[in-house]
Amino acid sequence: MIVLSAAMLPSIGCVAAPGGTAASPIHLNQLGYLEASRKIAVIGLADAAAGGISRYTIEDAKGRTVLEGVLQPAADWEPAAQQARIADFSALRNPGVYRLKVEGLPLSDPFPVAKDAYQPVLDAALKAFYFNRASSALPREFAGRYARAAGHPDTDVRIHASAASATRPEGSAIAAPKGWYDAGDYNKYIVNSGISTYTLLAAYEHYPALFRAQALSIPDDAPGVPAILREAHWNLAWMLAMQDPADGGVYHKLTNKGFDGTVMPDQARQPRYVVMKSTAASLDFAATMAAASRIYAPFERQYPGLSARMLAAARAAWDWARQHPRAIYRQPPDVFTGGYDDAQVDDEFAWAAAELYIASGEDAFYDAMIARNVPASVPSWGQVGGLAWMSLAQHRERLTPHADRARIEREIDTLAARLAEQWRTSAWRVSMQTRDFVWGSNAMALNQAMMLLQGYRLSPQRDYLDAAQSQLDYVLGRNPLGLSYVTGIGLRSPRHIHHRISEADGIAEPVPGLLAGGAQPGQQDAKDCKVGYPSRQPALSYLDDGCSYASNEVAINWNAPLVYVSAAIEALTR
Ligand code: G3I
Ligand code: 9MR
């Protein structure tokens, strides 16, 4: 049997399907599957034609039938208003390249079954953070044809009126270089940086062996430190500079007043500001720094004093937030960039308290967390309560006797069980419901997967792992558009993401490894788009056009769970 590695498939795809030949209605994970993966394909048909078909076969690379099966009955999938039929071919375990065949339909794309099937997406998704570094030139050695000059040095950042204090009056200057650009824009937002950085740190904390073995081509400025932690450090260094040393409060964002045009970083000239200290930013900062303080502690030699500094910074930010519990971010009238404004901060208090409890062992922090009464939920930039329970679950064996371990396990399991039930009863076999098609729906899918995986880590119920696999399948091609939503990954992937660098660099292919936000019916960018969306259906409302910031932008908080989930599936599937 010919073994074709998953890593080879994208290049084959570029030859065979440049930007999208007519896709088959047979949708599957374009990176294929691990030997022990649950393997599900979905046939999506806009009409009842699906009803007539009943059998499928799997062919190997030589056209020999290696498996036959019966399709499950057609059922309606509301988010796409389509009928779906499932082919479950999990019995296929031998490495190889295959196609799925259904009488009367175009053959599926070829897909591999291979060990390390998701290593390419894991590597690319992490490397994408490097490609989005602010304040740095990207040399050819690491960036290849995406090499570029430095932009946004952020060494002369002005204090905006909303952020003025006695020691830092309006218009005075601070330096806050480095960090990642948030998304397709060039601004840097603490709220979104917090969850993104934490999610990468959690991936490392949960699967250290996998990340220690990862060879990633980024600068080695801290020999002996895994690439994921070196990359995260680039952003943590910036975050630390966003704290006012005079009082511990953390600025909400570092930004232009208005979005840059579609130019490369070195061509962007607008003045930069830090804007308003906020409760949410201070708490997300506190949580992330407390988590980072424990994760970087073993690397004292490479980062002397960093771990202690982070814990002290976390405590100071926490104290500030306690004194300013209602410093809710409001966009000043002269600032027009992203808001990340969230008026409900109980979950941010709970998350910061949980991380400070784990870092310090002080029971008062546990009580502060419980007092907020925040249940586990699927994380997003504005809803971080699930991260608190996820960290507590990870550390449950080492918590003080004060912690209620049964409650921690119950919170995670209740959420995972609900998501698994949604998966079992879904015609498309995903946890995603119609309401989950929000701005950044692909990250919603992956954050659901991340919480299913927390459930699996606590009690290895196979459904939790299989449902998480399905969510990754969805993002990598098993969706009604037949698109792998990650640039450069899979046979058909976005070509025109809303990402200033990809749009302005003169290279036809977008920067690789970036997850597009995905389908959602809001179409808030319709006024900026000359082409119309093809559909209003939640799971079909997607436009592969640079104009579409509401469906085709990229963002660090969307890429981070892609790193987590692809790593976890690799590490846990057997
Ligand atoms: O909170 C309400 C909820 O109560 C309501 O039921 C629901 C119904 O639509 O809307 C919820 O608000 C949504 C909000 O996100 C919180 O989820 C808004 O509709 C939605 O428009 C908003 O989208 C955010 C978008 O910025 C616009 O503000 C995205 O979550 C957020 O990821 C995105 O972030 C941008 C940054 O501002 C700038 N940088 C790029 C980045 C990615 O596009
Ligand atoms: O480029 C901006 C993107 O990063 C934001 O997520 C989005 C929503 O805030 O806004 C984009 O900027 C657009 C602006 O809101 C309206 N005019 C067109 C801009 C993009 O071309």
Instruction: Report which of 99, 83, 261 is spatially closest to residue 186, judged by C-alpha positions.
Output: 261
Cα→Cα distances 545→265, 522, 538, 548, Å? 21, 16, 17, 6
Ligand 1 proximity of 549 Cβ (cutoff 6 Å): yes
For ligand 2, atom 16, name the residue with the nearest CA.
528
Give φ, ψ of 335 to 5 degrees: -120, 130
Instruction: Report which of 94, 85, 107 is spatially closest to residue 66, judged by C-alpha positions.
Output: 94
For ligand 1, atom 20, name the residue with the nearest CA.
439
Ligand 1 atom with least separation from CA of 557: 32
- Residue list, ligand 2 pocket, CB within 6 Å: 183-185, 259, 338, 528, 549, 553
Question: How are strands ordered across the β-sheet holding 96-101?
Answer: 65-70, 55-60, 96-101, 111-113
CATH no. for residue 158?
1.50.10.10
- Taking a C-beta distance cutoff of 8 angstroms, is the pair 562, 138 a contact? no
Give φ, ψ of 250 to 5 degrees: -120, 130
Ligand 1 proximity of 439 Cβ (cutoff 6 Å): yes
Ligand 1 atom with least separation from CA of 182: 39
> Has residue 564 been placed in a domain?
no
* 510 CA distance to ligand 2 middle (Å): 18
Boundaries of domain holding 148: 119-403
| Residue to probe by mutation, ligand 2, list 524, 525, 552, 556, most atoms within 8 Å of CB | 525
Ligand 1 proximity of 553 Cβ (cutoff 6 Å): yes
- Taking a C-beta distance cutoff of 8 angstroms, is the pair 573, 537 a contact? no
Q: Which residues pair with 112 in a beta bridge?
A: 97
> Has residue 361 been placed in a domain?
yes
> Has residue 136 been placed in a domain?
yes
> Has residue 9 been placed in a domain?
no
Say how many domains are in the chain: 1
Question: What pTM was estimated for this model as a whole?
Answer: 0.96
Ligand 1 proximity of 523 Cβ (cutoff 6 Å): no
Q: Which residues pair with 27 in a beta bridge?
A: 42
Tell me what pLDDT residue 22 has: 57
Please classify residue 365 by burial: count the beta carbons closer than 10 Å to its beta carbon, then call 0-12 exposed, 13-18 middle and 19+ buried: buried
CA 167, 169, 172, 175 torsion-angle sign: positive
Ligand 1 proximity of 355 Cβ (cutoff 6 Å): no
| Assigned token pair, 122 | 């894991």
| Residue to probe by mutation, ligand 1, list 438, 442, 515, most atoms within 8 Å of CB | 438
Give the integer Cα–Cα distance in Å for 424 and 381.
Answer: 27
* 522 CA distance to ligand 2 middle (Å): 14
For ligand 1, atom 23, name the residue with the nearest CA.
439
For ligand 2, atom 17, name the residue with the nearest CA.
528
Tell me what pLDDT residue 45 has: 83
> Has residue 485 been placed in a domain?
no
Q: Which ligand minimizes its atom distance to the CA of 336?
A: 2
* Residues that are catalytic: 185, 498, 544, 553
- Taking a C-beta distance cutoff of 8 angstroms, is the pair 518, 442 a contact? yes
Q: Where are the alpha helices (DSSP H) in 372-440?
A: 385-394, 405-424
- Pick left, alpha or beta for residue 144 (phi over 0 → left; psi -120 to 50 → alpha; otherwise beta): left
Tell me what pLDDT residue 16 has: 34
* 384 CA distance to ligand 1 middle (Å): 15
Residuewise pLDDT in 10s, the chain (574 residues):
233 333 333 332 222 333 444 578 999 999 999 999 999 999 998 655 556 778 999 999 999 999 999 999 999 999 999 999 999 999 999 999 999 999 889 999 999 999 999 999 999 999 999 999 999 999 999 999 999 999 999 999 999 999 999 999 999 999 999 999 999 999 999 999 999 999 999 999 999 999 999 999 999 999 999 999 999 999 999 999 999 999 999 999 999 999 999 999 999 999 999 999 999 999 999 999 999 999 999 999 999 999 999 999 999 999 999 999 999 999 999 999 999 999 999 999 999 999 999 999 999 999 999 999 999 999 999 999 999 999 999 999 999 999 999 999 999 999 999 999 999 999 999 999 999 999 999 999 999 999 999 999 999 999 999 999 999 999 999 999 999 999 999 999 999 999 999 999 999 999 999 999 999 999 999 999 999 999 999 999 999 999 999 999 999 999 999 999 999 999 999 9
Instruction: Report which of 222, 248, 195, 180 is spatially closest to residue 380, judged by C-alpha positions.
Output: 195
> Has residue 562 been placed in a domain?
no
Tell me what pLDDT residue 6 has: 38
> Has residue 178 been placed in a domain?
yes
CA angle centred on 70, ends 1 and 476, rounded to 5°? 60
Cα→Cα distances 536→50, 520, 522, Å? 22, 8, 9
| Residue to probe by mutation, ligand 1, list 345, 439, 523, most atoms within 8 Å of CB | 439
HSE value, Cβ hemisphere, 13 Å, CA-based, for 348: 29
> Has residue 41 been placed in a domain?
no
